[in-house]
Structure 1
Amino acid sequence: MNQRVVSSTVLPPIANKQPHRLSIHGDDRTDDYFWLRYRDEPNVIAYLEAENDYTKAVMAHTESLQTALYDEMLARIQETDLSVPYRKGDYYYYSRTETGKAYPIYCRKAGSLDAPETVLLDQNALAEGHDFFELGLFDISPNHQLLAYSVDTAGSERYTLFFLDLAMGQLYPETILETGYGFAWGNDNQTIFYTLMDEANRPFKLIRHRLSSAVSDDELVYSEADESYFLSVGKTRSDAYILLELGSKITSEVHYLDANQPEGKFQVIQPRASGIEYQVEHHSDSFYIVTNDEALNFKLMQTPVTAPAKDNWQLVIPHRDQVLLEGVSAFAKHLVVYERESGLPTIRVRQLASGEEHFIQFPDPTYSADEGSNPEFDTEILRFNYTSLVTPRSVFDYNLETQERELKKETPVLGGYDRTQYASDRLMATATDGTQVPISIVYKKGLEQNGAKPLLLTGYGSYGFSYPAAFSSTRLSLLERGVVVAIAHIRGGSEMGRQWYEDGKFLKKKNTFTDFIACSEHLIAQGWTSKEQLAVVGGSAGGLLMGAVINLRPDLFKAVVAHVPFVDVVTTILDDHLPLSVMEREEWGDPNDKTFYDYMKSYSPYDRVEARDYPNLLITAGLNDARVAYWEPAKWTAKLRSLKTDHNCLLLKTNMGAGHGGASGRYESLKEIAFEYAFLFDQWGLM
């Protein structure tokens, strides 16, 4: 950061509170900032607002840059735009946006794309009067006459469910509170299934409801007592079955119900067994089962609907050491298999009658591909999405028989974007144990690898999530200014298979952090950047990554952006009353076990803050965050401010009306990105 003197009077005061003491495994821990979790106390909100005031004061000299960045990012977006319509039954469904409106409008046309438009739901109208708005559920009934939708106006991920008669344009009288994402229509168009949240923000109950009946009369179908399990409900593409899915981080259980008999009783496919995961897809008289049972990278099985238990599972695709089977989609004549090999996603198509197979080919050295909207079962057209670091998100329709693909839409990038001016590549860094770690990288052509360029490196490395190498139009504001952007595909994700995930969790979690450091050092050694020009960014568990690496190597980074960082690992997972804490023990370990406690404490960013120099830091939080409570970044900031020995920038920015995902609406989201980029440009001296 350019050295600027900011009056100490704008520094937020640290309240003089009694420290919180905890003794576990003979370790007496003292937390001086535990009081920040009591949001109902006026001094807590005052403290967060003081931090926001301080951040605004420190960043005041960048306001014109923030405005310029916002304007140029907005100028690349086609504000009035249309999604690619998809067909379901006799209707074509799509969404569109309008200039000046923050949210999409959902529409449909009957019979053909030339038919008149019917507006189903205008999110902008629903969002009026709310600082935050998020649409959760949008689900049309089987007869296309009714719409179920849910909204969250706080960022808490607890939704209110509504039902709309599309012909009459009138809401049903019942409104259902505290619902989750899961939902399914019975084929009678009157019976619906929804999920309820517990106090820890865990969907734990499945409820059956009849339209126009009192919510108080709703029937409890299933209640999950194990706090490590989430409950969800959905419907098969065939529309034949409703699936009740129960899952912890390492174990699955699926129940099924004939959608034509929605008043019936769910039947279990295979009872849960610790460590065994499985997913279910329906086709004709069979279920396809993707499972890790004696198959680390998963395998595909087939079983009769009439006798679906494990004893009847027959092998379709065996386990392979070098290929991760991520999922399957069943269509009337084809099976589409989604896999990952050598760190890259692949799509394999199998003709069910003949068994013949082929792969869909992709052109870039690093890319992302996934399934698009495919609600129709009896079709030979697969819709998929493709993007790379230089290719905007593209929607393709692919003929499963002829292997012909049709580009339906490439997301427009206004202002004359020319992808030939940019290059992407895939590099390999060597970790401390010799493991080769992939790096995806993008830059403007003509760049000299002389160590003089600023570079922004990101990563995640948790929950088996494979970080996608995807295009971002906002990223052009970095690339056009000579910034290199890279993604570290570190252990803890699944880029290189399930073992890649297993080697970055529990008592191997530190591999995630040392892999990221190895990627950073590789980029410096190869002349892509230098310590003085390297900035890093991560969010949530990626924010934990940021906290861990700056404790290990604070000298390696010029600037760090940590969004909603999960940094108080031990205290949070010890607290059974907090959202997600119990189930998180299957990702990080149970700190009630001394072995895990000692290991987790040895890397927990909050516990490892010391009196030393740290990089320039921008830390964000959401007051209503249901996943990483606001007090984790707030406590971390306070402890850093108290102990750090440098004069570098330390900023906390709390969104007082949002949750884990930050601001809602496309315009407010762009403002947050502009703020982050302005912070980075200031550190790089690119003002």
Structure 2
Amino acid sequence: MTTPAPPAAKKVPTKRTRHGDTFCDPYEWMRDKDDPEVLEHLRAENAYTDAVTADQEPLRTAIYDEIKRRTVENDLSVPARRGAWWYFVRTIEGEQHPVFCRVPAAEEASTLAAWTPPEVIAGVPLNDEQTYFDTNAEASEHPFYSLGGMAVSEDGTLLAYSEDTSGDEHFTLRLRNLETWETLPESLENVHYGVHLSPDGERAYYVKADSAWRPYRLWQHAVGTSATEDRLLLEIEDITQWMGTGLSADRQQLVIESGNSEWNATRLLDLTDPEAAPQLIVPAERRVLNSVEPCEVDGERMLLVTHNQQGPNNAVSLTTAEALANQDDSQPLDFGPTLIQHDDAVKLDEGLAVTAAQVLVEARINANPSVRLLSWDTVRQVRDGAQGVKASSLPGPAFEDPMHSVSVVQASYDAPLFRVRYSSWLVPDRIYDIPHQDPLPVLRRETPVNDYNPEDYRAVREWATAQDGTEVPVTVLHHKDVRPDGTNPAVVYGYGSYEISNDPGFGIPRLSLLDRGIVFAVAHIRGGGEMGRLWYQNGKKLSKKNTFTDFLTVTDHLVNAGWADASRIGAIGGSAGGLLMGAVVNLAPEKFQAILAQVPFVDSLTTILDPDMPLSAGEWEEWGNPIEDPEVYHYMKSYSPYENIRQAHYPAIAAVTSLHDTRVMYVEPAKWVPALREHQQGNAPIVLKTEMDGGHGGASGRYEKWKERAWDYAWLATFLGV
């Protein structure tokens, strides 16, 4: 079968002049997604992509079938106790979405035995089991469906949930009476992620975003009233500041943060008082990155504050709201006695889990996320004058795998135990309950996987040396039969932005690559957070190019170490990792046979120059402000993928996007692809695949997501000769 010619995109020159530089963009006209010509062009690109990849269909089908076969489709979560109920989730074979269920708790929540979850069996309902939200039923009338937040009142009688039916991440908030099962008549439109309920269940608190998708307004809604009567509690006018909210451990206060990646303001709101207003305790003008957890110490209301005033990896201090709010602006902030000292080798995560028994501290030690236990006795001792401790000296649950992740998933304030999720590269996720008095993990569940033997695979950590001498960690995953003999096809994955870490985690789809002899490498490059805060800072703003050169360093290391055949390497990255793909393929197209760029941020300079667009004003702390700073402008221009395309033998490139994505707009890859084709000196295809009903995460529904992953992996594997 003859492959048709790619769609011919018309050119409408649009000039942009900044800081003495003029860029002529021939494809900016594609930005109007309501333009019938734009939609027709995207459909033509999809048809071309279908034709180019038609011969990959058998491999796609095989990979999809493998994912489906390995996945236990009738799956369930471990019930979590809240009040008088056990809450859990079922996934059912043939259904795209989860089903949210609960059963009454038989015992008072006062003993350890009362926190032993009931055994849930797939397909077998428990006595008095209730389905309080069937996502499949809600999604049945929509081509796309995603939940943005869910909260149940303390007494279990009211459900608040937000839904997105288009993929643009603008949610509608609804309320449901869990006694009558009636959905209340009021609905709140264009809500951002998350929702919280007051302790008495009479009020809902939610955030709205502006036209640039920046969450900036906090609202209070009285249950049973019209949305027109809602009360505006707070508006953040600074376009560089995003708002986020969280509940205190005792659910009496709302902690409100507004800021960016480098500093934030913090406020507290009393949820027990319907007339309360947010109280500012750390102003944005202090330029301190901080997170606050209210707590009780010997009957006194206090605050545990994680902050970067002592160093980039954070410290934890003890103070009060009054002490913070009443400080002299001319003096540095005094956060009170230091409970956990700053450590160059240990990154303390923002946010602590406060319980009546102890404080749970999430810390990154030896590049692994871990949980450390801070006793209230230690808190009292430091409050009374003792020296603070190092996080590495605190006790915590221990696990055998040297490369693993541990995170707190439930820590009810008065519960005698807390729950963690354990992940590693080769072990499916496990859920452990850990009693406060005897911190020996109790395994509650390991995610079941069919047709999988962990002994068939290997995970190793290696280090690649960058040109400036920096040692860059790389995780190499492979089948046990693969040897570092220089003959293997390899796929390199990377992200490297926003201090997001690629931590150890199990993935069923990845097994389909490993089983075919493909080495899967994860490049832990600068710009991420794997090695602490400085690792992030050395891969952002005017140091952003370290992210790209680190990825190429890792790619070369895989070849030199024998893990990869230099002529059979593919790469994959999404969003900011898609920018990474665009940058490295411009820098060194000869190193790759295939590229998979998911929702790629490839026209980054154009986006950041427009403060009204998503990923713009709020992103200046990540990339710099090219509007006002000529140095930032020219630096970004020197790596922005769309503006640095050159005559080259580009590898096979697939750009995958979604029409309704509000984070990285479809127009970026839509412009990038025809520009790449114009400069392609080789014969490898360059395609654009647009999900017409999806958002930033692609299509909704697990089966559709499996099909997407099968498409991605088949694209890479085909061009690697597998």
Q: Secondary structure at the match of 1:475?
A: helix
Partners of 2:63 and 2:170 in 1: how far apart?
33
Q: Secondary structure at the match of 2:585?
A: helix
- Contact 1:255-1:268 at 8 Å conserved across structures: yes
Task: Determine the structure 2 residue equivalent to 1:647.
Answer: 683
Task: Determine the structure 2 residue equivalent to 1:39.
Answer: 33
Cα deviations across residues 344-389 of structure 1 (Å, max 9, x unaligned)?
2222112212569412222223222212133x10123121111111
Structure 2 residue 310 is matched with structure 1 residue 294: yes
Structure 2 residue 677 is matched with structure 1 residue 683: no
2:77 to 83, 89, 99: 83
Task: Determine the structure 2 residue equivalent to 1:210.
Answer: 222
Cα deviations across residues 8-34 of structure 1 (Å, max 9, x unaligned)?
2xx21212x421001111111100111
Task: Determine the structure 1 residue equivalent to 2:364.
Answer: 340
Partners of 1:532 and 1:573 in 2: how far apart?
36
Q: Secondary structure at the match of 2:261?
A: coil
Partners of 2:551 and 2:613 in 1: how far apart?
29
Q: Secondary structure at the match of 1:175?
A: strand
Shift of 1:681: 2.0
Task: Determine the structure 2 residue equivalent to 1:361.
Answer: 398
The equivalences for 1:40-439 within 5 A come to 40-112=34-106, 113=118, 115-273=127-285, 275-284=287-296, 285-309=301-325, 310-311=333-334, 313-327=336-350, 328-353=352-377, 357-374=394-411, 376-415=412-451, 417-439=452-474
Partners of 2:423 and 2:459 in 1: how far apart?
12
What amino acid is aligned across from residue 688 of structure 2 in structure 1? L
TM normalised by structure 1 equals 0.97
The equivalences for 1:574-653 within 5 A come to 574-592=609-627, 593-653=629-689
RMSD: 1.4
Task: Determine the structure 2 residue equivalent to 1:492.
Answer: 527
Q: Secondary structure at the match of 1:359?
A: coil
Partners of 2:342 and 2:585 in 1: how far apart?
39
Partners of 1:500 and 1:555 in 2: how far apart?
28
Partners of 1:165 and 1:14 in 2: how far apart?
52
Partners of 1:202 and 1:412 in 2: how far apart?
39
Q: Secondary structure at the match of 2:508?
A: coil
Q: Secondary structure at the match of 1:474?
A: helix
**Greater alpha carbon shift after TM alignment, 677-686 vs 87-96:** 677-686
C-alpha distance 589-34 of structure 1, shift in aligned 2 (>3 A): same
**Greater alpha carbon shift after TM alignment, 292-301 vs 622-631:** 292-301
* Structure 1 residue runs of 4 or more that deviate by more than 4 Å after TM superposition: none
Task: Determine the structure 1 residue equivalent to 2:387.
Answer: none
- Contact 2:317-2:335 at 8 Å conserved across structures: no
What amino acid is aligned across from residue 403 of structure 2 in structure 1? T
1:524 to 537, 542, 559: 559
Partners of 1:623 and 1:575 in 2: how far apart?
20
Partners of 2:365 and 2:584 in 1: how far apart?
28
Partners of 2:610 and 2:192 in 1: how far apart?
22
Q: Secondary structure at the match of 2:642?
A: coil
What amino acid is aligned across from residue 432 of structure 2 in structure 1? F
Shift of 1:7: 2.8
Task: Determine the structure 1 residue equivalent to 2:580.
Answer: 545
Partners of 1:631 and 1:155 in 2: how far apart?
16
What amino acid is aligned across from residue 418 of structure 2 in structure 1? L
Partners of 1:614 and 1:325 in 2: how far apart?
42
Shift of 1:237: 1.8
Cα deviations across residues 40-82 of structure 1 (Å, max 9, x unaligned)?
2211111111100000011111212212221111011111111
Q: Which runs of 5+ in 1 are unaligned?
A: none
**Greater alpha carbon shift after TM alignment, 68-77 vs 111-120:** 111-120
C-alpha distance 464-512 of structure 1, shift in aligned 2 (>3 A): same
- Contact 2:186-2:226 at 8 Å conserved across structures: yes
- Contact 1:207-1:220 at 8 Å conserved across structures: yes
Shift of 1:306: 4.3
Shift of 1:274: 5.5
- Contact 1:276-1:293 at 8 Å conserved across structures: yes
Partners of 2:193 and 2:422 in 1: how far apart?
26
Task: Determine the structure 2 residue equivalent to 1:24.
Answer: 18
- Contact 1:341-1:497 at 8 Å conserved across structures: no
- Contact 1:398-1:404 at 8 Å conserved across structures: yes
- Equivalent residues, number: 678
Partners of 1:140 and 1:111 in 2: how far apart?
16
Q: Which runs of 5+ in 2 are unaligned?
A: 107-117, 119-125, 326-332, 380-392
Cα deviations across residues 180-209 of structure 1 (Å, max 9, x unaligned)?
113221223112211112111111111111
Q: Secondary structure at the match of 1:669?
A: helix
Task: Determine the structure 1 residue equivalent to 2:497.
Answer: 462
Task: Determine the structure 1 residue equivalent to 2:9.
Answer: 14
Partners of 1:312 and 1:228 in 2: how far apart?
25
What amino acid is aligned across from residue 220 of structure 1 in structure 2? L
Shift of 1:115: 4.0
Shift of 1:313: 2.4
Partners of 2:85 and 2:293 in 1: how far apart?
24
Q: Secondary structure at the match of 2:410?
A: coil
